[in-house]
Amino acid sequence: MHAIVVTVSDSCFARQREDISGPAVGRQLQQAGFTVAQILIVPDEKERICETLCHAAKQARLVVTTGGTGIGSRDVTPEATRMVCNRILDGVAERMRAIGQKDTPLAALSRAVCGTRGSALILNLPGSPRGAVHSLEAVLPLLPHALALLTGNTEHDANDADHSTPAMLPEK
Amino acid sequence: MHAIVVTVSDSCFARQREDISGPAVGRQLQQAGFTVAQILIVPDEKERICETLCHAAKQARLVVTTGGTGIGSRDVTPEATRMVCNRILDGVAERMRAIGQKDTPLAALSRAVCGTRGSALILNLPGSPRGAVHSLEAVLPLLPHALALLTGNTEHDANDADHSTPAMLPEK
Amino acid sequence: MHAIVVTVSDSCFARQREDISGPAVGRQLQQAGFTVAQILIVPDEKERICETLCHAAKQARLVVTTGGTGIGSRDVTPEATRMVCNRILDGVAERMRAIGQKDTPLAALSRAVCGTRGSALILNLPGSPRGAVHSLEAVLPLLPHALALLTGNTEHDANDADHSTPAMLPEK
């Protein structure tokens, strides 16, 4: 199963800072059995994030972002993710926050979302290496089952996969 | 207090499978003091679910669905429920997921919602008999109080009950 | 740091009932180090609440409402708050409900939301004095950090503060 990691950070994109979270998340996914195809770095710009997520969701079943989930004026990763997803899975983000709060009450401020685009799962993680790794750990056990359901490999796998794409961003 | 149960399932509707969850939820509601007026079976089709919910919400104060809350391509019960509700009660679905996760981490994948339409409460439950019964159990203690508030039987019961219907689906 | 408390209640506005919750929340904020600039009382009317929140968010960094978060037909505080906020912080409301449920399962029925408008934080609390005080207590530790992030006093404090105002209600 392929995964792509997207680090969302102006300063990492401008090479003013080293990307720590992206590689940390990548290692964690590899240990969980995923093949990490790429670790991409994009600035905190909604359109760039949208384009990157759409492209990544064609190439990998799992797309994990890190960064841009806070409440600073540049934080737009959740907005971009909502735009490209056709379904939002509130319970997955809830679980990340609930488990994150055992670590720090500030986890409640995360606006991270999780959703699906076609048969890909897109998951936002916070930008700090510790927050990213802990959040991913909280939901890692769900991912294989979620990805199996998304392939349509269920009782419901009817001939209408188009049902799952009403809100998708039009391809360019 | 009357309740209607709606089983949402292509295979139960096509009589390829017996409906176990609907009757299980019905028994649970009866034990809690509700009069279960009907157990309906509809396919996983958004329009059919919307119509059924609208009709049921006129005949009963509590409408409970089972099925179609997952992330398969045919799962559209939450979308239909959001369309017919004028208010969404995020905390009720949150509570079902939070308590469900003591049973299985997969409860986080449920997209079930709870909302109100006029003075009726509509509650989505998962499709599996065990998931449906556990989810209902988690919120059963809330229902009498919620239904009392919805009758306007509170300090707020002003002469403007129309306030509660801005987002309702137009009647056919 | 300045805070404004807004009590949303028809009966308090009509002086048919004394406002207990507003002053209780005010005292709690003062003990936490905020300067409470005003305690306002408005009726349960969406437009009036919107206008009051917009005005308050210009004068204080923290705006706390009490009342109107239930499911009665007159309860519209969450709707008004969503209209004036540019970002919703689901995790903050989730935390209030999660901690509130240790007190009473009915906390799940609260539709209270928390969001940002420009560099102000707007927080809904329930109307009962006990519910209001407990809910605020649950999130008080988050507020200083959240308010610091909102000033743009972070790594992200770029020259594009306008990024944070797409969904704001137009000024009159």
Chain centroid, CA A145 distance in Å: 16
Which residue of B61, B85, B90 to mutate against C (max C Cβ within 10 Å)?
A: B90
C91-133 per-position pLDDT tens digit = 999 999 999 998 888 999 999 999 999 999 999 999 999 999 9
Please check the confidence at residue B162 and state whether its pLDDT lies above 80: no
Chain B positions touching A150 (Cβ under 8 A) are 71-72
**CB distance B156–C94 less than 8 Å?**
no
Residue of A87, A145, A158 lying closest to B74 (CB–CB) = A158
Q: Kindly report the pTM of this predicted structure.
A: 0.88
Report how far residue B60's alpha carbon sits from residue C4's, in angstroms, rounded to the nearest whole number. Answer: 42
| ipTM computed for the complex | 0.85
- pLDDT tens digits, residue range A18-50? 999 999 999 999 999 999 999 999 999 999 999
Say if C35 is an interface residue toward chain B (CB within 8 Å). no
pLDDT at B15 over 70: yes
Neighbours of A106 (CB within 10 A): 18
Q: Which of B70, B75, B101 sits opposite A95 (nearest CB)?
A: B101
Task: Judge whether C112 and C69 are in contact, CB under 8 Å.
Answer: yes
CB contact under 8 A, C105 and B158: no
Any C CB within 8 A of B161 CB: yes
Identify the band that residue B153 occupies on the pLDDT scale cut at 50, 70 and 90. Answer: low
What lies within 8 Å, CB to CB, of C95 at 6+ separation is A97, A101, A105, A108, C138, C139, C142
Does C53 touch chain B if contact means CB atoms closer than 8 Å? no
**B118-149 residue pLDDT tens:** 999 999 999 999 999 999 999 999 999 999 99
**Mutate which of A113, A121, A156 to disrupt the B interface (most B C-beta within 10 Å)?**
A156
pLDDT tens readout for residues A79-133? 999 999 999 999 999 999 999 988 888 999 999 999 999 999 999 999 999 999 9
| pLDDT of residue C156 exceeding 80 | no
- A151 interface with B at CB cutoff 8 Å: no
CA closest to B158 among chain C residues: C74
H-assigned helices in C32-170 = 46-59, 77-84, 90-100, 129-139, 143-150
CA A76 to chain centre: 13
